[in-house]
């Protein structure tokens, strides 16, 4: 036999005499260029996807998501199934919200290297009354409004508000008791989409081209009515009786909507983490409780076969069957007529016997108790042997992969273990110094997050109360930075602790 080689597109096989067949792959310049071209094709397809639109009435809506318009829904669907991300995002919301909103004025203290900015709280009853009256006027309370915006920001880097104006919004006269802006209300980023009325644009659509915001149920865009609002214009804030603002943290190369920096890169890891418990639960429910191999004696098989053959013969000789069933095996047809012996009757008999045995096995699951049976000739009794299985290796592999997926997910989310509460090995982080210093670093990084979340409400304050802009008064989140325990006096430290109570009780006991 001569050696034969076939190759196509850099791949092929070789038939080697007296040795066998060898498959091979040659990855040369042309093949690498093909792969490079495919990467560009994928890049181009993503670019096209970013610029897809849909028509809604007289408006053109850019799609938010690759090939669909459900990016916020996709992010929530994937993250909500994860055991870590919902709680991590919830902690991010709590860290940013702190003790709630508070008016402040920023001043500079110290000189040289010790110079730093400090927020000085201010009390302005007119602004506080205006904020407190939102709920009484039928809108969201300011706390609910801000909390919902933080949630949207941490999921999809986008926040929206509906602006409610008083009828005197265009009056130049300052009416102290009647602010031009009645209130702001929360609009969910999952419902809001940008839109333009220019359907014949000859250029790439950008965020600034979209002068409208459409609020609708995008899971069923044709089933429910949609609402079209003019987009809030900071240059002409009182132009429309109602407006909706759409603010987002721009993503590099994306010119319309924002996309999370972490979601796409972590998507496969998040999916892996979500699947791990399903793999384990499926194994526990569907794998054998005890892997048993049943050895059936050939003598038993022959004796049972002979019995069934004799019964079938007797049934066929008479007008009516003598015995229509034997040990669960049906020996007549559906009409009750006798039938001849078939080998499948023995298979059914064995299945019935195994079913009786497995019914005694404990465990949960639809596949519990299944046996693998063979026939052994020459012995009388049935024999049961354990079927080998590598359960420990399977569980260890899944758990190790799950732990790695959690590590990558937390690292990619940008939340340190001391903030998330989960250490690198999956345990709760309890290092005081680590928690404290990571907390300081994390709090210092929240300036941009706070700016976007507070952007609309600070605009509204400046428009309703122009003096606040001149005095640089803003609304921000009041976040207390706790002092290290070593920097506090014993009297300032928490007394109601298990250790303190025990020491107190011990001291009382000694005095008695």
Do 161 and 246 fall within a single domain? yes
Collapse the DSSP code of 485 into the 3-class scheme (helix H, G, I; strand E, B; otherwise coil) and give the result: helix
Task: List, as own/partner pairs, every contact residues 13-18 make where C-beta atoms lie below 8 angstroms and the sequence separation is at least 24, other chains included.
Answer: none
Q: Cβ-count burial of 238 within 10 angstroms (0-12 exposed, 13-18 middle, 19+ buried)?
A: middle
Do 222 and 361 fall within a single domain? no
Rounded CA-CA distance 201/182 in Å is 36
| Token pair belonging to 275 | 């699947």
Q: Is residue 378 part of a domain?
A: yes
Do 365 and 466 fall within a single domain? no
Strand order, beta sheet including 372-376: 372-376, 292-297, 383-386
Do 29 and 101 fall within a single domain? no
Do 188 and 90 fall within a single domain? yes
Q: For the chain, what is the largest distance between any 2 Cα atoms, rounded to a whole number of angstroms?
A: 116
Q: Is residue 482 part of a domain?
A: no
Which stretches within 290-381 are classed as H helix? 298-317, 344-358
Do 317 and 372 fall within a single domain? yes
Q: Cβ-count burial of 227 within 10 angstroms (0-12 exposed, 13-18 middle, 19+ buried)?
A: middle
Q: Is residue 352 part of a domain?
A: yes
Do 172 and 297 fall within a single domain? no
* Entry pTM: 0.70
Do 110 and 38 fall within a single domain? no
> Which DSSP string corresponds to 147-216?
HHHHHHHHHHSEEEEEEEE-TTTT--S--TTS-SEEEEEEE-TTTEEEEBS-TT--S---GGG--EEEE-
Rounded CA-CA distance 276/401 in Å is 8
Q: What is the pLDDT along the chain (512 residues), one digit of tens a residue?
A: 566 666 665 567 666 666 556 665 655 545 555 555 555 556 556 666 667 888 888 899 999 988 789 999 999 999 998 988 999 999 999 999 999 999 999 888 888 888 888 889 999 999 999 999 999 999 999 999 999 999 999 999 999 999 999 886 666 554 556 789 999 999 999 999 999 998 766 778 899 999 999 999 998 866 668 899 999 999 999 999 899 999 999 999 899 999 988 988 888 898 888 888 888 887 776 665 556 778 888 888 889 999 999 999 999 998 889 999 999 999 999 888 999 999 999 989 988 888 777 666 555 555 555 566 777 666 567 887 776 667 778 888 888 888 888 888 888 888 877 677 666 554 444 556 767 777 788 888 899 999 999 999 999 999 999 999 999 999 999 987 766 555 556 665 555 444 444 444 444 444 44
Do 238 and 157 fall within a single domain? yes
> In degrees rounded to 5, what are phi and psi of residue 335?
-85, -5
- Find out whether 144 and 186 touch, Cβ atoms under 8 Å: yes
Q: Is residue 89 part of a domain?
A: yes
Q: Is residue 221 part of a domain?
A: yes
Do 303 and 246 fall within a single domain? no
| Token pair belonging to 412 | 């990619």
Do 351 and 471 fall within a single domain? no
Q: Is residue 157 part of a domain?
A: yes
Overall domain count for the chain: 3
Question: Which of 361, 386, 411 represents a domain boundary (last residue)?
Answer: 386
Collapse the DSSP code of 13 into the 3-class scheme (helix H, G, I; strand E, B; otherwise coil) and give the result: strand
Scanning the structure block, which residue is given the tokens 């397809």?
A: 45
Structural domain boundaries, residue 10: 4-43
Rounded CA-CA distance 87/100 in Å is 20
Do 123 and 21 fall within a single domain? no
**Pairing mode, if any, of strands 372-376 and 292-297?**
parallel
């Amino acid at each position: 036999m001569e050696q034969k080689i076939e190759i196509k597109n850099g791949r092929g096989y070789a038939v080697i005499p007296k040795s066998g067949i060898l498959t091979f792959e040659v990855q040369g310049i042309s093949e690498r260029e093909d792969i490079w071209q495919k990467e560009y094709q994928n890049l181009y397809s993503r670019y096209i996807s970013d610029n897809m639109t849909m028509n809604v009435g007289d408006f053109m809506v850019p799609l938010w998501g690759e090939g669909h318009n459900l990016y916020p829904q996709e992010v929530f669907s994937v993250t909500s199934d994860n055991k870590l991300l919902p709680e991590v995002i919830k902690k991010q919301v709590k860290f940013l919200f702190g003790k709630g909103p508070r008016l402040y004025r920023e001043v500079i203290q110290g000189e040289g290297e010790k110079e730093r900015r400090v927020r000085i709280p201010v009390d302005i009853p007119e602004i506080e009354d205006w904020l407190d009256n939102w709920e009484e006027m039928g809108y969201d309370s300011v706390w609910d409004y801000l909390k919902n915006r933080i949630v949207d920001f941490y999921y999809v880097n986008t926040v929206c508000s509906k602006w409610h104006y008083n009828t005197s919004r265009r009056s130049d006269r300052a009416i102290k008791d009647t602010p031009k802006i009645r209130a702001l209300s929360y609009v969910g980023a999952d419902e809001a989409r940008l839109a333009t009325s220019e359907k014949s644009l000859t250029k790439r659509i950008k965020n600034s081209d979209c002068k409208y915001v459409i609020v609708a149920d995008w899971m069923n865009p044709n089933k429910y009515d949609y609402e079209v609002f003019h987009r809030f214009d900071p240059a002409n804030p009182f132009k429309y009786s109602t407006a909706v603002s759409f603010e987002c943290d721009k993503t590099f190369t994306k010119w319309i909507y924002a996309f999370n920096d972490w979601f796409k890169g972590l998507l496969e890891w998040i999916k892996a983490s979500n699947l791990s418990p399903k793999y384990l639960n499926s194994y526990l429910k569907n794998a054998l409780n005890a892997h048993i191999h049943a050895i059936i004696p050939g003598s038993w098989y022959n004796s049972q076969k002979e019995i069934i053959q004799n019964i079938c013969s007797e049934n066929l000789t008479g007008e009516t069957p003598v015995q229509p069933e034997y040990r669960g095996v049906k020996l007549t047809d559906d009409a009750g007529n006798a039938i001849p012996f078939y080998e499948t009757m023995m298979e059914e008999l064995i299945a019935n016997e195994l079913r009786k045995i497995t019914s005694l096995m404990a465990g949960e699951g639809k596949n519990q108790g299944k046996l693998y049976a063979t026939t052994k000739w020459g012995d009388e009794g049935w024999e049961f042997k354990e079927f080998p299985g590598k359960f420990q290796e399977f569980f260890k592999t899944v758990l190790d992969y799950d732990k790695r997926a959690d590590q990558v997910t937390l690292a990619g989310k940008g939340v340190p273990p001391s903030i998330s509460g989960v250490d690198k090995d999956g345990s709760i982080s309890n290092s005081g110094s680590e928690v404290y210093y990571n907390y300081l670093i994390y709090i210092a990084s929240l300036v941009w997050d706070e700016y976007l979340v507070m952007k609309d409400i600070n605009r509204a304050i400046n428009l309703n109360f122009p003096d606040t802009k001149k005095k640089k008064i803003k609304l921000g989140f009041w976040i207390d930075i706790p002092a290290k325990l070593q920097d506090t006096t014993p009297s300032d430290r928490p007394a109601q602790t298990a250790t303190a109570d025990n020491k107190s009780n011990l001291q009382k006991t000694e005095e008695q």
